[in-house]
């Protein structure tokens, strides 16, 4: 029964939206801060407005999958925004606003930790 307070979104609607953001932004070959920030904004809108509803275990599994897609897209977008360089091989990561590779500062793995409402980043240097 719909109380009118919120309109539950089924996993299919959220899955399509989450996957579209992944395809549109996360998997782009060329990144820039403005597109990455817009992708993060869109994910935040989804998270704010979504309320998952599952009527059986199968739908519950799908809801959890969608939440995982959203969480992973959020990590990819934030990490991509944090890495301010391009690194073509072997990662094929190109930032239009930072087109050059910066070995001095960015020859490292980027680790992230989720803290309340934000990510904390640290770099794990790669030895040459």
Q: How far is CA 96 from the centre of its chain?
A: 19
91-127 pLDDT, tens digit per residue, is 788 899 999 999 999 999 999 999 888 899 999 999 8
Preceding omega of 13 cis (within 30 degrees of 0): no
Q: What is the pLDDT of residue 84?
A: 94
25 burial via Cβ count (<10 Å: 0-12, 13-18, 19+) = buried
| Token pair for 121 | 């980043």
Sorted by where each starts, the structural domains of the chain and their CATH numbers stand as 11-125 (1.20.58.100)
**H/E segment holding residue 77:** helix 57-82
Beta strand extents in the chain (DSSP E only): 30-31, 94-95, 108-115, 118-125
How far is it, in rounded angstroms, from Cα 23 to Cα 117? 24
State the pTM of this model: 0.79
Cα-flanking dihedrals φ and ψ of residue 21, to 5°?
Answer: -65, -45
- For the ranges 20-24, 67-71, 90-94, the lowest mean pLDDT is seen at 20-24
| Contact (CB, 8 A) for 70 and 85 | no
């Amino acid at each position: 029964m719909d109380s009118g307070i919120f309109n539950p979104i089924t996993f299919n609607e959220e899955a399509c939206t989450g996957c579209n953001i992944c395809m549109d932004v996360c998997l782009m070959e060329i990144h820039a801060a403005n597109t990455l920030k817009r992708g993060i904004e869109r994910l935040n809108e989804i998270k704010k407005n979504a309320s998952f509803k599952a009527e059986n275990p199968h739908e519950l599994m799908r809801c959890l999958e969608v939440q995982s897609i959203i969480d992973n897209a959020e990590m990819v977008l934030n990490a991509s925004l944090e890495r301010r360089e391009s690194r073509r091989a072997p990662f094929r990561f190109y930032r239009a606003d930072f087109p050059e590779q910066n070995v001095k500062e960015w020859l490292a793995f980027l680790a992230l930790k989720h803290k309340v409402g934000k990510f904390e980043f640290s770099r794990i240097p790669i030895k040459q």
